[in-house]
Structure 1
Amino acid sequence: MALQGFTESLAGKWLLVKNEGFDEYLQAMGVGYIKRKLALSFNTTMEMIKEGEDSIRIITKSAKNMDTVIKIDEEKEEADPFDNKIKVKVSWDPATKVLKTESYPLEGSNAKTALVERKILPDGQMLMEVTLPNDNLVCKRYFQKQDS
């Protein structure tokens, strides 16, 4: 079973409660000052839903709303939140309950190589850690689970 343990851990609706390094991340992605400050003011929610045996739907509501379905361990071409063309692969580790997204820019894209890991912390919050390895930058976003 490709998504064993997902429903009990990451599935559900999450509300952003804290950012660390988000402004620096947006700056590295080429977002201007005013748009960065605006993005920092949004109440971001993320909903993750298991679809079938091997797919996850992620709905993000923020400065830019996104709704995507990703099949586990399958590469897919997408657009990042900044409308850059990327190749994405999502994996799920049932032992550690970590959802990992690796993305790479497609030729001619202004995207950056990124690694996103989502996991549950001991206090019940979800940590979404975004790493831009070529910029030596890590952004941490903390989410609290919401009642359905």
Structure 2
Amino acid sequence: MRREFTGWHMLGLMVGGFGIIIGVNLILAWNAVATFPGLEARNSYEVSQTFQADRAAQLALRWDVSADITGGVLTVTILDDGGNPVEAEVTQAILGQATNVRMDSTPTFTWTGSNYTAPVTMTKGYWNLRLELIAPDGTKFRRRFPLTAK
């Protein structure tokens, strides 16, 4: 017995297909909004007023700052323009994933005489270290370091 393909069948296929597409889009949109970490600054206008001066002061330090994760240890190295290690005050350090704040942590750094180290627990993937330092002369230094945990 052969069944005929009617308009009702086509309507069912169209409603089902578009229903799946709309449902998936709603789930993705909800997850995007629910995991967004938020703003970097409460008032971007105020931050913009001193941005160039802050940037110039930070560049005048002539520091070479790097961050690395190896074997569960986060290492931050600060070198001056002569290649000598610099000891600065760590005012804020936040280690977290780029897409959410649930796993954010604050590493406790220890000065080793040549760099800063901190034990960290993290899953594989892409992470950000948002670091704020104060130089011995009082200059603020801010940078975000993208890191990959393997």
Normalising by structure 2, report the TM-score: 0.27
Q: Report the structure, 1 or 2, having the larger helix content.
A: 2
The structure whose RCO (Cα within 8 Å, separation 6+) is larger is 1
Query: Larger Rg: 1 or 2?
Result: 2
Q: Report the structure, 1 or 2, having the larger strand content.
A: 1
Normalising by structure 1, report the TM-score: 0.27
